[in-house]
Amino acid sequence: MNARTLDIDRLGAQGDGIADGGEHPTFVSYTVPGDKVTVSLNKSRGTLLALIDSGPDRVPAPCPHFGPDSDIAECGGCVVQHVALDAYGDWKRDLVVSALESRGLDVTVAPLVRAEPGARRRVVFAARRSDRGIVLGFNKQGSHDIVAIGSCLVATPRINRELDTLRKLANVVALGPQAFRYSVLDTASGFDIAVDAPFKLSDKDRLRIADAVRRTDGVARLSFNEEVLLEKNPPQLNFGAVTVNPPPGSFVQASEAADLLMSEIVSGHLGKAKRVVDLFSGCGTFALRLATKSTVHAVEASGPALASLDKAYRAHPGLRSVTVEKRDLIRRPLMTQELKIYQGLVFDPPRAGAEVQAQEIARSVVPKVAAVSCNPITLARDLAILVAGGYRVTSVTPIDQFLWTPHVEVVALLEKKV
């Protein structure tokens, strides 16, 4: 074993402690700056063997599943529960600052808006059938092994209360030993469960699973590889005063509190615009709230998501006009000429960002833009394009929607004098 003693100097972008003292940086999970540790080395990675001295920002992890010293099992769902709150907030904010600086953007970044435990309404579990029954939990860090959990600090109280119920239903779904994704969305009408699995269903399987869902209280719908097997009640999410029934497996913000805050920031920036365009609109997180004051055009590649948005709009006659357009904005962005009729624009693309669309926005005369992203690196690239086109970034707000992970949501507001 190649053991070595290291001093941890900083936290990396993925939450690993980094020791800079050697020929190259060494990454060690579950460490903080100021730690002195003994590790087993494998190239640039060190596996923690012993903690010799603790850094000032090390705290006990609140979850019994966390870290290599867990008495139960090491869950990889969270990576930085051992970091003190202030240091954690600074680290997450610095992820955004560093991304912006890498693109030459000298922009003030607000302090991190912190998340609270128990706020995560959308949880993606890993599951598989074993000799001992169903295993439901999260992958161990750096492994395909699934760690069974008895509770999850980030999930909503209802998800935690019903873990046994969710586990029993996962056992019905597991048709073989292969692992599968088991997504649970906690909605106002019950759980919306979306299974993504490498199994092929027979008609008998469909009937058996549907019957199990029918007999399970608290489950609104279960879909299998996007096929709805049973919908007892349409899943319901509230976007402001508007109730939306999202399609199976649809993207929604993971935290209701973060969803509300992001919408407030965006609406505050665009709320006086007569006409607004919402790009990558999804089911209408922003569009349906903006429609209380503005005429909105929502553009999205997913037909089912747009159908949900349109249905929700038509069921709430108090809104301004909302139109929808099915369009792949990555391949076919709204062009500068198409954007000239709008006074406000919001875009919330996938993690890969919206580079080509940002180029069209940069050439436009839309005076106010809100950019939302869960990836600071691609957001910084897109913001640099907009700034080069004459926009000025007026605020950047990092939001900790994904507690104790290296992911951070960001809302950036921009203006252009026209």
The model's pLDDT over 210-260, given as tens digits with 9 standing for 90+, comes to: 999 999 999 999 999 999 999 999 999 999 999 999 999 888 999 999 999
Which amino acid belongs to residue 174? A
Q: What is the pLDDT of residue 21?
A: 84
62-65-68 Cα angle (round to 5): 100
Q: What is the pLDDT of residue 1?
A: 61
Do 181 and 128 meet the contact criterion of CB atoms below 8 Å apart? no
* For residues 85-90, average pLDDT: 97
CB count within 10 Å of CB 214 equals: 12
- Is residue 71's pLDDT more than 70? no
The CATH code for residues 3-58 is 2.40.50.140
The CATH code for residues 122-231 is 2.40.50.1070
- Strand pairing class (26-28; 17-19): antiparallel
* For residues 356-378, average pLDDT: 98
Do 400 and 374 meet the contact criterion of CB atoms below 8 Å apart? no
Pinpoint the residues of the chain covered by CATH 3.40.50.150.
Answer: 92-115+255-415
Residue ranges of the binding site for S-adenosyl-L-methionine: 253, 280, 300, 348
Pinpoint the residues of the chain covered by CATH 2.40.50.1070.
Answer: 122-231
Tell me the pLDDT tens digit for each residue of 125-173: 999 998 888 999 999 887 889 999 999 999 999 999 999 999 999 999 9
Give CA–CA dist 290/123, Å, rounded.
27
Do 353 and 327 meet the contact criterion of CB atoms below 8 Å apart? no
Q: What is the pLDDT of residue 143?
A: 85
Give CA–CA dist 110/399, Å, rounded.
10
Tell me the pLDDT tens digit for each residue of 4-22: 899 999 999 999 999 998 7
- Is residue 73's pLDDT more than 70? no
Return the CATH class of domain 92-115+255-415.
alpha beta
Lowest mean pLDDT among 43-47, 51-55, 413-417: 43-47
Do 236 and 385 meet the contact criterion of CB atoms below 8 Å apart? no
Annotated catalytic, 75?
Answer: no
Assign 270 to helix, strand or coil: helix
Task: Quickly state the pLDDT bin for 339 (edges 50, 70, 90).
Answer: very high
Tell me the pLDDT tens digit for each residue of 101-122: 999 999 999 999 999 999 999 9
